[in-house]
C-alpha cells in the first residue's frame, strides 16, 4: 500500500464501492500521506509490548493513552480512551465502581449478518 500512488488507492476504493473513478474523480490530484503515529497503533504486537494503565505497585502513576494494554479492547476509539482513564482513576483512588463492559461487536450475530449482506450487495 505504501508503494501505491494516490490514484491507485482511490481507484481501488472506488472499485469496492462500485463508483466510476473516471467520471467522478478523473481530474483529481490525489496525494497519499502516511501517519506513522496512527498506523503504529494497529501494528502486530504481543500483550507485553504495552504497559497496563496502572503499573503494579504504583500509587501515583498511570498511563493514559492509546498505547496501553487493555485485554480485548480496540484502540483508536473514544471508548478506549475513556476506559483507560476510568481504569487509572478508579484504581489509583480505590474507587469501587464498575467500569462499563467492553462491547464485543465481533461476536454479534447482527454485525456478522450485516457484514455478509454488505459484502455481497
The predicted structure's pLDDT at residue 19: 87
pLDDT tens readout for residues 53-109: 999 999 999 999 888 888 888 788 888 889 999 999 999 999 999 998 887 777 788
What is the C-alpha separation between 41 and 60, in angstroms, rounded? 26
Residue 84, SS3 per DSSP: helix
The predicted structure's pLDDT at residue 47: 76
Band of residue 3 on the pLDDT scale cut at 50, 70, 90? confident
The predicted structure's pLDDT at residue 91: 94
What is the C-alpha separation between 92 and 53, in angstroms, rounded? 10
Distance, CA of 30 to chain centre: 24
What is the C-alpha separation between 10 and 116, in angstroms, rounded? 23
Higher pLDDT, 114 or 38: 114
The predicted structure's pLDDT at residue 87: 94
The predicted structure's pLDDT at residue 28: 82
pLDDT tens readout for residues 13-48: 888 888 888 888 778 888 888 777 777 777 788 878
Q: In sequence order, what are the residues at sequence separation of 6 or more whose Cβ sits closer than 8 angstroms to the Cβ of residue 80?
A: 66, 70, 73, 74
- The answer, as to whether pTM is greater than 0.75, is no
Q: Are 83 and 70 in contact (CB under 8 A)?
A: yes
Q: Are 6 and 32 in contact (CB under 8 A)?
A: yes
Amino acid at each position: 500500500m505504501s508503494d501505491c500512488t494516490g490514484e491507485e488507492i482511490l481507484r481501488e476504493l472506488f472499485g469496492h464501492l462500485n463508483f466510476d473513478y473516471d467520471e467522478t474523480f478523473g481530474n483529481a490530484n490525489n496525494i497519499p500521506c502516511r501517519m506513522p503515529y496512527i498506523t503504529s497503533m494497529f501494528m502486530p504486537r504481543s500483550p507485553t509490548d504495552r504497559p497496563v494503565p496502572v503499573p503494579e505497585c504504583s500509587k501515583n502513576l498511570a498511563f493514559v493513552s492509546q498505547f496501553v494494554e487493555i485485554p480485548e479492547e480496540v484502540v483508536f476509539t473514544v471508548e478506549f480512551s475513556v476506559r483507560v482513564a476510568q481504569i487509572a482513576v478508579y484504581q489509583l483512588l480505590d474507587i469501587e465502581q464498575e467500569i462499563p463492559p467492553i462491547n464485543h461487536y465481533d461476536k454479534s450475530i447482527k454485525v456478522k449478518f450485516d457484514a455478509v449482506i454488505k459484502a455481497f450487495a
